[in-house]
Structure 1
Amino acid sequence: MSYQLINCRALQAPQLCAAMNAAFSDYVVPLSLTADKFTDFQKQRGFSADHSFVAMSGTEIAAFWFSSPPLSAYQNCAYTLSVGTLPAYRRKGLSRQLLDKVIERQKSDAGRGLQLEVITTNEKAVKAYEKSGFETRRTLRVCRISEKRPVSIPRARFPLETFSVDQLPDDESAFFDTRPTPQNSRAALRALREQTRVLGLRLDGIVVGWGASYEDGSVAQIAVRRDFRRRGIGRALLDGLSAATRTDQLTFVNVDTAAKGVNAFLDRIGVEDRIHQSEMKLMFQD
């Protein structure tokens, strides 16, 4: 059987969404995104129709590789949003063929590499990416906390303000120990600004911390300036986000395990680990 490899410019979001749902339909927790949620997924992760490719079997999508353009904030590496093959078309080498098309397109725009995340226990996928040249660069934590669970940090009261994304400090170096993954980046917050809640704290007119979460309670960023940590500011920000998103459960996706400050904080407030992911990178040869 022959397949046509094309970019996604002529394809609409509902068709791409249906293909992604079908590709992950036989997972332990099947994916079931609505068209609107898929559109948010595209915006948040920087989807580019020009840099994303599908393998077509007639009029049906058999496999896909969704990608962003090269990202200057990540050394001109592009972010892979999702890779999948529909069950009937697996073990035909389609992902490898799509990867070649993606690399070719990225290089034409001075892209230097690709990065993606994969669940650490998905050994088959990890090995497949390694075979294609990807290397693990860091381990990411996915965890959650419920307001019903006891916490060891006393709740402190601070005068939190509602911020716009554009009010956040341009220089994040005093707040983050490691760079957020693309889906939690400043660009992602801007892309979903209408669905994002940002709360911040100023002391003596200086921004000393902020928290940002999406509508579903997923915390994109929790940042406290290093010289203001261990004062209950992080806990206050989470309380505020929980109230603002009207949920009693907050989820933290892709927390770098090497970020000592935020991980120590999460452990103190009693988070429950869900999974770990490997951030893998493929750097192109010059």
Structure 2
Amino acid sequence: MHQTKKPQMFEILSATHVTFDQLHETMLSSFSDYAIPMQLSLGAFEMMMRQRGLDLHSSRVAVVDGQVAAIWLTSVRGSKGYLISSGTRPEFRSKGLARAMANDCLDYLRSTGIRSFQTEVLRDNETAAGLYYSLGMTKARALDCYTLPISQASKPGSELFEPVYWRDLAPRVAKLRDWAPSWQNNDASMEAIADQLLCVAMIDEGGELKAYAAVSPNSGTVHQLAVSKDYRRRGMARAALIAIQRQLPETPLRLINVQQDDAAFRALMTSVSATETSGQYELWLDL
């Protein structure tokens, strides 16, 4: 006698109910077949969560038969919420898990006074984007990503940059920028991993910060790069990148989430022979 297979039931829980190792393992499984696989070591996963501010209370997991089948990992800073990462194991997809986690999380955020929610999505990830749009999220801006080749060439100007600590830069960087860094690159995220950052800066004789860059040495990710308006068009941004490359000679640099409409930054990327990689959209939802 043919028996109808019983549909799997799932439970949505706060991420406080599972271990960090379970979150990590679920991410590995969920991203194993993505266009850009995210196979992070446990240490790299911990750093990612630390940098972006993982909040276990607002984060959600979907559990099926005792197994974590999907994750929705979020951060909360002030009145803002942010989706760090979400993923569903391949065998549990198309069962409504992501939507259930999202709705439960957003309800929780609203109840605790959070006023906005944001994330980024790869421009060609139509499945994820479709979910976010259905939740009411809209495009806030387009963000470009680049990789830079390893360069051994000596360029003038890089000698003007000196190593500095993030804590000494932090109070002064905002006035150099024309646009706000994305969540993973903003000042709060830099503060969270300040002990892991390599920073270089050019400071004039009067003690004024004129240009700086902040990078994660292990990944080569340049999180922030800016030059004061009165020092632009002098090759200072390029010199900052060369100063970093001199300290990380075997590490290709990459820049993630550069605001697309910054024509000067695009010109800089061309001048350093950068390769554009998969870009993202920053999405926003008022709660």
Do the structures match in fold with TM over 0.5? yes
Give the distance between the partners of 1:239 and 1:150, measured in 2 at CA.
8
1:194 and 2:201 matched: no
Structure 1 pair 20–244 and aligned structure 2 pair: CA distance change class (3 A): same
Give the distance between the partners of 2:274 and 2:23, measured in 1 at CA.
34
Structure 1 portions without partners, runs of 5+ = none
Q: What corresponds to 1:13 in structure 2?
A: 20
Structure 1 pair 7–106 and aligned structure 2 pair: CA distance change class (3 A): same
Give the drift of 1:169.
4.9
Give the drift of 1:157.
4.1
Partners of 1:217 and 1:242 within 8 A in 2: no
- Code of the residue aligned with 2:235 in structure 1: it is G
Q: What corresponds to 1:212 in structure 2?
A: 214
Q: CA RMSD in A?
A: 1.9
Deviations 1:90-141 (A, max 9, x none): 1111111111111122112211121111111122222222122111110000
Partners of 2:54 and 2:73 within 8 A in 1: yes
| TM-score, reference length from structure 2 | 0.91
Q: Secondary structure at the match of 1:252?
A: strand
Q: What corresponds to 2:141 in structure 1?
A: 138
Deviations 1:167-188 (A, max 9, x none): 1152544311110001111111
- Code of the residue aligned with 1:60 in structure 2: it is Q
Give the drift of 1:149.
9.5
Structure 2 portions without partners, runs of 5+ = 1-7
Partners of 1:169 and 1:207 within 8 A in 2: no
Q: Secondary structure at the match of 1:264?
A: helix
Q: What corresponds to 2:125 in structure 1?
A: 122
Give the distance between the partners of 1:16 and 1:271, measured in 2 at CA.
34
Listed as ranges, the matches of 1:92-111 within 5 Å are 92-111=95-114
- Residue in structure 1 matching 2:269, options 266, 270, 284: 266
Q: Secondary structure at the match of 2:256?
A: strand
Listed as ranges, the matches of 1:1-286 within 5 Å are 1-69=8-76, 71-72=77-78, 76-148=79-151, 155-204=156-205, 205-215=207-217, 216-284=219-287
| TM-score, reference length from structure 1 | 0.91
- Code of the residue aligned with 2:142 in structure 1: it is T
Deviations 1:58-79 (A, max 9, x none): 321111110001x34xxx3211
Deviations 1:173-206 (A, max 9, x none): 4311110001111111111122210111101221
Sequence identity, in percent? 26
Give the distance between the partners of 1:39 and 1:164, measured in 2 at CA.
22
Partners of 2:170 and 2:187 within 8 A in 1: no
- The structure having more radius of gyration, on CA atoms, is 2
What count of residue pairs does the alignment treat as equivalent?
278
Partners of 2:50 and 2:192 within 8 A in 1: yes
Give the distance between the partners of 2:162 and 2:227, measured in 1 at CA.
14
